[in-house]
Amino acid sequence: MKRFLSLFLYLNIYTLSSLWAQDTFLYLEISAEKTIRESLKDSLLPTTTFEDYRSLQRQVDTIPLVLQQRGYIDARLQSFQKLNDTTYHANYIFGSRYNTLQVNYTTTPFLKEQLARRNLSEVTDSTFTIPLSNATKTLQDLNTQLTESGDPFASLQLSSLEKKNDTLFGVLTTSIQQRRIIDSIALKGYEKFPRSYLRHYAGLKKGQTFNRKTLLKKNDILDGLGFAKSIKPPEALFRSDSTTVYLYLEKENNNLFDGILGFATDEESNRLIFNGYLNLELNNNLNYGEQLLINYKADGNEQQNFRVRTTLPYLFGSPFGVAAELKIFKRDSTFSTTEQLAQLSYQVSPSTTTYIGYKSYVSSNLQEEVLVDATVEDYEARYAIGGLAFTDRQPNPLFPRKTFISLEGEWGARERDTIQEDQFRIVSNVFHIIQLNNQNSFFVQNTTSWLDSDTFLTNELFRFGGINSIRGFNENSIDASLFSVLNTEYRYQFNPGLYAHTIIDLAYFENDVIELKQQLYSFGFGIGLNTQAGVFKLNIANGNLEGENFKFSNTKIHLSLSSRF
């Protein structure tokens, strides 16, 4: 029994002492040769309580450095002592405070330009004066600008310091080496990488001033290509007479496939009917950067949509590229439209592309009966097109594009029954991701299309609705001569491969064929998941017309799985 009581008392005493030890903190008091203002003390010592001695000692050593940055050049620790088991006291010598720094320097074009940019109040050809509290940042910025101007080994040094009244005087010396120009670019790992992408897509070429910060940004652009991946940061070899940049890239399989195809038999004609969708994208299989797209969508007898497009960028190493496209759209037994496109593009900068081209439409009325005042008729149309696209990329596998702006205009004429009519089309798409922090972001997109004509046919109108426009509505189920769709999403990214988002979409459209003006809206939620098979997306949205009560039957589920191979 005694042994049991002894063990019981020991455990209780040990537990209580452990709890007391966990609740014990260390405290720090500070003083100086003169009274410290409370506001200054609060900034020097944000907290007087510390969990361990190491963090307390770190704070004691930091205070003189903070004081020196604020103009107390002679600040130092005078004494440090332990008052009791939990309290320590640090006494400092502040000394005099200096408010300004006057720097003597030798005029160079670089320094003159950089000082002019900073709008300093007192600048001459041999001196400049700055607040001492900003001295460290100003000199660091000048040194950074000097190294980024092509001299990675350049440095600035402030010496010969003197004190007078409340001003500190010093001499700025500049150590300038040889300005470095990129003489050659070596590729390691993926030697067959299409070099035109270095020059025109990433904006990296021989003859440029070497800048490591810019080089890293351009390497990130290449890393976001899809068919190439950076396996290590770029490096540079500096010789006495040359500078070589090394890029370490690895080829990535970037072909895409997703789709579901079904087969059925038409009860009336006994013909085979396809339904479902197919999306095939072949990228850079010839190491040229080329692309081939094949899309097919079918809803049984309702709608069939076929698209094939090929793109050849940077012909013969130039910033020019070509593209050709064929689209065929068929709506039940009403009409079919064939669209052909030939396009010549020019890469203005790594983020901006302009293009011109030719587009033609041929549409046929499939209805057996010819009706008076029919809204579907045979027609042909030819247009000259021109447009531009701007893309701001970011290193995010789920959202590789942060900003995108495209604008396209089509000028031409439509011909039906030997009657020709001038027409104009405009199509725009703009989206931007507002990054709130690492996990939270806000996505905003607007898509607008407008057809200007004296008369209108149903089979020449724009078609929208579905996962790529306003969610909660059937694919391409809405005809419009004018429409504008606003898509918004609040996104929460759990990790680099998983995110969830809200859906709030608004739309306005006009159909001049039936003189209809209507507003639409939809709301819902979705998820995106980067799996081994590809990117899986699930959207659930409920779409409604203006003034229409909520109907659960209007809810649509949009699924997509993009598999890379």
Backbone angles phi, psi at 102, to 5 degrees: -105, 120
**Same domain as 191, residue 142:** no
**Same domain as 260, residue 165:** no
Task: Assess if residue 405 is contained within a domain.
Answer: yes
Q: What is the pLDDT of residues 386-403, one digit of tens each?
A: 999 999 988 787 888 999
The share of the chain scoring above pLDDT 90, in percent, equals: 54
DSSP state of 548: P
Residue 29: give its domain's CATH number: 3.10.20.310
> Is this model's pTM higher than 0.85 or not?
no
* pLDDT, mean of residues 250-266: 74
Q: What is the pLDDT of residue 80?
A: 94
Task: Assess if residue 37 is contained within a domain.
Answer: yes
Residue 323: give its domain's CATH number: 2.40.160.50
Coil, strand, or helix at residue 261? strand
**Same domain as 419, residue 292:** yes
At 373, the pLDDT band (50, 70, 90 cuts) reads low
User: 396 Cβ partners below 8 Å, 6+ apart?
Assistant: 496
Of 465, 475, 472, the residue nearest 502 (C-alpha): 472
User: 204 Cβ partners below 8 Å, 6+ apart?
Assistant: 182, 185, 198, 215, 218, 245
> CA 400 to CA 562: how far, in whole Å?
15
What total number of domains does the chain contain? Answer: 4
At 4, the pLDDT band (50, 70, 90 cuts) reads very low
pLDDT reading at 434 higher than 50: yes
Choose the final residue of a domain: 251, 283, 306.
251
> CA 97 to CA 103: how far, in whole Å?
18
Of the listed ranges 83-87, 247-251, 343-347, 448-452, the one predicted with least confidence: 83-87
pLDDT reading at 12 higher than 80: no
pLDDT reading at 124 higher than 90: no
**Same domain as 463, residue 558:** yes
Choose the final residue of a domain: 128, 155, 175.
175
pLDDT reading at 490 higher than 90: yes
The share of the chain scoring above pLDDT 70, in percent, equals: 91
Choose the final residue of a domain: 122, 142, 175.
175
At 153, the pLDDT band (50, 70, 90 cuts) reads confident
Q: What is the pLDDT of residues 440-464, one digit of tens each?
A: 999 999 999 999 999 999 999 999 9
Task: Assess if residue 58 is contained within a domain.
Answer: yes
User: 524 Cβ partners below 8 Å, 6+ apart?
Assistant: 471, 472, 502, 503, 539, 540, 541, 542, 555
Here the tokens at position 307 are 């698209």
> CA 346 to CA 287: how far, in whole Å?
20
Q: What is the pLDDT of residue 264?
A: 52
* pLDDT, mean of residues 339-357: 96
At 370, the pLDDT band (50, 70, 90 cuts) reads low
Of 484, 562, 473, the residue nearest 524 (C-alpha): 473
Task: Assess if residue 303 is contained within a domain.
Answer: yes
Q: What is the pLDDT of residue 23?
A: 52
pLDDT reading at 379 higher than 80: yes
pLDDT reading at 271 higher than 80: no
**Same domain as 420, residue 361:** yes
Q: What is the pLDDT of residue 273?
A: 59
**Same domain as 263, residue 247:** no
Owning domain of residue 108? 100-175
**Same domain as 169, residue 69:** no
Q: What is the pLDDT of residue 530?
A: 84
**Same domain as 64, residue 157:** no
Backbone angles phi, psi at 485, to 5 degrees: -120, 130
pLDDT reading at 46 higher than 80: yes
pLDDT reading at 112 higher than 90: no
**Same domain as 334, residue 391:** yes
Sheet with 49-50, edge to edge strand ranges: 49-50, 26-32, 87-93, 76-82
How far is residue 136 from each of residues 105, 170, 283, 349, measured CA to CA in Å? Answer: 16, 13, 50, 36
Sign of the Cα pseudo-torsion (345, 445, 329, 409, in order): negative
Highest mean pLDDT among 25-34, 448-457, 529-538: 448-457
Task: Assess if residue 4 is contained within a domain.
Answer: no
Backbone angles phi, psi at 54, to 5 degrees: -60, -45
* pLDDT, mean of residues 65-69: 89
pLDDT reading at 5 higher than 60: no
Q: What is the pLDDT of residue 275?
A: 61
Task: Assess if residue 7 is contained within a domain.
Answer: no
> CA 107 to CA 269: how far, in whole Å?
89
At 408, the pLDDT band (50, 70, 90 cuts) reads very high
Of 44, 16, 18, 20, the residue nearest 30 (C-alpha): 44
Residue 202: give its domain's CATH number: 3.10.20
> CA 31 to CA 91: how far, in whole Å?
5
Q: Percentage helix, strand, coil, to 5, in the chain? A: 15, 50, 30
pLDDT reading at 230 higher than 90: yes
Q: Comparing 11 with 90, which gets the higher pLDDT?
A: 90
pLDDT reading at 107 higher than 60: yes
Number of Cβ atoms within 10 Å of the Cβ of 359: 20
Number of Cβ atoms within 10 Å of the Cβ of 167: 14
Q: What is the pLDDT of residues 186-214, one digit of tens each?
A: 999 999 999 999 999 999 999 999 999 99
Q: What is the pLDDT of residue 272?
A: 60
Q: What is the pLDDT of residues 278-303, one digit of tens each?
A: 889 999 999 999 999 999 888 766 78
* pLDDT, mean of residues 224-249: 92
At 263, the pLDDT band (50, 70, 90 cuts) reads low
**Same domain as 224, residue 263:** no
DSSP string covering 136-193: HHHHHHHHHHHHHTT-TT-EEEEEEEEEETTEEEEEEEEE--PPPB--EEEEES-TTS
Q: Strands 379-393, 401-416: parallel, antiparallel or unpaired by DSSP?
A: antiparallel
Here the tokens at position 61 are 């050593």
How far is residue 46 from each of residues 28, 29, 50, 83, measured CA to CA in Å? Answer: 11, 12, 11, 21
Coil, strand, or helix at residue 16? helix
pLDDT reading at 261 higher than 70: no
**Same domain as 71, residue 106:** no
Of 372, 536, 553, the residue nearest 473 (C-alpha): 553
**Same domain as 472, residue 494:** yes
Q: What is the pLDDT of residue 509?
A: 97
Coil, strand, or helix at residue 362? strand
pLDDT reading at 262 higher than 60: no
Task: Assess if residue 12 is contained within a domain.
Answer: no
DSSP state of 209: B
Of 260, 261, 233, 269, the residue nearest 248 (C-alpha): 233
* pLDDT, mean of residues 471-498: 93
Task: Assess if residue 435 is contained within a domain.
Answer: yes
* pLDDT, mean of residues 482-496: 96
